[in-house]
Structure 1
Amino acid sequence: MAISLYDISVASSLQVLGGVAGALDKGAAHCTENGIDLAEVAGTRLVPDMWSFRDQIYSVMHHSLGSIKGVESGAFSPPELDPEMDYAACQALIASAIEMLGGYTREQVNAWEDNDVLFSLGRFELPFKAPEFVLSFSHPNLYFHATTAYDMLRMKGTPIGKMDFMGPLRTAG
Structure 2
Amino acid sequence: MSLSLYDAVIPSMKQMVGSIQGVLEKGAQHYEGKGESPDSLLTDCIHETMLPLTFQLNSVIHHSFGAIEGVQAGEFNAVSGLDTPDYAGFQANLAKAAQSLADLSADDVNALAGKDVMFKFGEMRMPFTAEGFLFSFSKPNLYFHATTAYDILRMKGVPLGKRDFLGQLQLKG
Shorter chain as denominator, the TM-score bin is: over 0.9
Superposition RMSD on alpha carbons, in Å? 1.3
Residue 9 of structure 1 and its aligned partner are, at CA, apart by 2.1
Q: How does 1:39-58 map to 2 (within 5 A)?
A: 39-58=39-58
Q: How does 1:1-173 map to 2 (within 5 A)?
A: 1-82=1-82, 84-173=84-173
Return the letter of the residue paired with 1:47. H
Structure 2: which 5+ residue stretches go unaligned?
none
| Identity within the alignment, % | 43
Q: How many angstroms apart in 1 are the aligned matches of 2:28 and 2:149?
A: 13
Q: After the TM superposition, which of the residue ranges 36-45 and 54-63 deviates more from structure 2?
A: 36-45
Q: How many angstroms apart in 1 are the aligned matches of 2:37 and 2:164?
A: 22
Q: How many residues end up aligned between the 2 structures?
A: 173
TM (norm. structure 2) is 0.95
Return the letter of the residue paired with 1:17. V
Q: How many angstroms apart in 2 are the aligned matches of 1:92 and 1:139?
A: 22
Q: After the TM superposition, which of the residue ranges 19-28 and 36-45 deviates more from structure 2?
A: 36-45
Structure 1: which 5+ residue stretches go unaligned?
none
Distance 1:154 1:81, change over 3 A: farther
Residue 6 of structure 1 and its aligned partner are, at CA, apart by 0.8
Q: After the TM superposition, which of the residue ranges 77-86 and 59-68 deviates more from structure 2?
A: 77-86
Return the letter of the residue paired with 1:118. M
Residue 30 of structure 1 and its aligned partner are, at CA, apart by 0.5
Q: How many angstroms apart in 1 are the aligned matches of 2:26 and 2:7?
A: 27
Residue 81 of structure 1 and its aligned partner are, at CA, apart by 4.3
Deviations 1:107-151 (A, max 9, x none): 110011111111011211111111111110001100000000000
Q: How many angstroms apart in 2 are the aligned matches of 1:46 and 1:22?
A: 20
Contact 2:44 2:52 in 1 (8 A): yes
Helix, strand or coil for the counterpart of 1:46? Answer: coil
Return the letter of the residue paired with 1:65. F
Q: How many angstroms apart in 2 are the aligned matches of 1:54 and 1:36?
A: 18
